[in-house]
Chain A
Amino acid sequence: GENVEQHPSTLSVQEGDSAVIKCTYSDSASNYFPWYKQELGKRPQLIIDIRSNVGEKKDQRIAVTLNKTAKHFSLHITETQPEDSAVYFCAASSFSGGYNKLIFGAGTRLAVHP
């Protein structure tokens, strides 16, 4: 079945450094790739997404890149701040039969140290 692998599982950086999280997906029909941030004890919230017809998208300090040929996509956070500390989930979506399903990666726990 469809699968999304996410690496690394934990990431520790110093404030101001960059952080990169990588995901690969198995379903070549996937065409939508959102990233969610989940703070401790809170619900996952969408922070950025990218569609399969776009190679890169940026929103302030956050950017996502997509390589459809290699079936992988990445989240880049620049100038990290302590409030960026959270668990980040990538997901790959595929539309079939009128339904949208999101397959999530296992998550990356990012710790930003002051």
Chain B
Amino acid sequence: NAGVTQTPKFQVLKTGQSMTLQCAQDMNHNSMYWYRQDPGMGLRLIYYSASEGTTDKGEVPNGYNVSRLNKREFSLRLESAAPSQTSVYFCASSIRQGARETQYFGPGTRLLVL
């Protein structure tokens, strides 16, 4: 199992450009998540998808859109990138076992917006 994979690993954009971050998991998990990580601010939830066909806003959704393409794939789109979106983006997926819902993270995408 590859677990959670993300592409690209690193990207540089100019302000106003658009791009899509890709995420896939091969663990048959129902739930998937997108986080951004900024220095001193931990991990903040952008969007999540509890199951195929559903998506919901997290803590910081402005400037982003998502697509849950199928059970495996969950993409994050920046329509018009801004310098404030410079961050490290992590995708995660989870499986629920009773009260535990363990989240597994991808390797991250480092995005720089100039």
Contact = CB atoms under 8 A, between A and B. Distances in A.
B56 A106 contact: no
Contacts of A9: 40
Interface of B: 31, 33, 40-45, 48, 50, 56, 58-59, 90, 94, 96, 99-108
Contacts, number: 61
Contacts of A61: none
Nearest to B108: A43
Given A45-B105, A51-B99, A101 B42 contact: no
Given A100-B94, A101-B45, A43 B50 contact: no
B100 A51 contact: yes
Nearest to A106: B42
Interface string A92-114: 01010011111111110000000
A28 B90 CA distance: 27
B53 to A, nearest CB: 13
B40 A100 contact: no
B47 to A, nearest CB: 11
Contacts of B58: 101
Given A102-B45, A104-B44, A32 B101 contact: yes
A1 B59 CA distance: 9
A106 B103 contact: no
Contacts of B33: 102
A34 B96 CA distance: 13
A93 B106 CA distance: 19
